[in-house]
Amino acid sequence: AQSVTQLGSHVSVSEGALVLLRCNYSSSVPPYLFWYVQYPNQGLQLLLKYTTGATLVKGINGFEAEFKKSETSFHLTKPSAHMSDAAEYFCAVRDFGAGSYQLTFGKGTKLSVIP
Amino acid sequence: DGGITQSPKYLFRKEGQNVTLSCEQNLNHDAMYWYRQDPGQGLRLIYYSQIVNDFQKGDIAEGYSVSREKKESFPLTVTSAQKNPTAFYLCASSLPGGNTGELFFGEGSRLTVL
């Protein structure tokens, strides 16, 4: 079964600094990969996804992620953090090897932005 | 606008009572899901349904029940058998089959047991 590991349950960055949120997955075949964002007491919103093709994926709000098959990673980055980026971020994987439509989620990383 | 509507947003329940959380979607998606979210635990799958009148247990189905009588609706009942029901519940939907599997989420329902 696939699994998703997000390194760091809490990450703090200064406003204007680089944001780097780490995600590693285990999967028997190249998966589809997703990053979602959640603001307090709200649902999850898709930031970006990797399916096939270009391994550097650009999403909303200036975020991007790169699929690195050799490292089984899909880290999320943003060059300059804004106060509005403070939220919880979830990495998810869909593993076609299981023939399932389900996504497996990581446990999330809460991002704090310091003024 | 198309989307997923969950109600109520906040719900309080006494121990021993069953409660039903509503989830309605107008995205014309075939598949629907219920997740439970606890702090530091991520999202855990309770039940999912890929088609009307059919549903499957997820990882933590004990103490929960669902129905799927209409494509648009997938209500979740939290029964008195659920030992620790206080949590944030999220409903989601997706296109099935060859689609990417991307999930679309509702705004969530927060259940507190008093």
Please tell me the distance in Å from A25's CA to the nearest CA on chain B: 15
* pLDDT above 60 for A100: no
How is residue A74 written in tokens?
């899909």
Alpha-carbon distance of A86 to A30, in angstroms, equals: 30
Cβ–Cβ contact A34 with B under 8 A: yes
Residue A1 banded pLDDT, cuts 50, 70, 90: low
pLDDT of A27 reads: 76
Q: How far is CA B74 from the centre of its chain?
A: 7
Taking only the tens place, the pLDDT of each residue in A26-67 is 876 778 899 999 999 899 999 999 988 889 999 999 999 999
Q: For residue A27, what are its two tokens?
A: 């999967």
The answer to whether the CB of A46 falls within 8 A of the CB of A58 is: no
pLDDT above 90 (res A74): yes
Chain A hits for B104, Cβ within 8 Å: 46
Note the residue count of chain B: 114
Read off the pLDDT of each residue in B50-64 and give the average, rounded to a whole number: 93
Q: Chain B, 15-34: which have a CB under 8 Å from a chain A CB?
A: 31, 33
Question: pLDDT band at residue A10, thresholds of 50, 70 and 90?
Answer: very high
Q: Taking 60 as the threshold, does the pLDDT of residue A108 lie above it?
A: yes
Evaluate whether B52 touches B69 at the Cβ level (below 8 Å): yes
What is the average per-residue pLDDT within B62-88? 95
Say how far apart CA B51 and CA A101 lie, in whole Å: 12
For residue A34, give the nearest of B6, B96, B102 by CB distance: B102
**B64-82 average pLDDT score:** 96
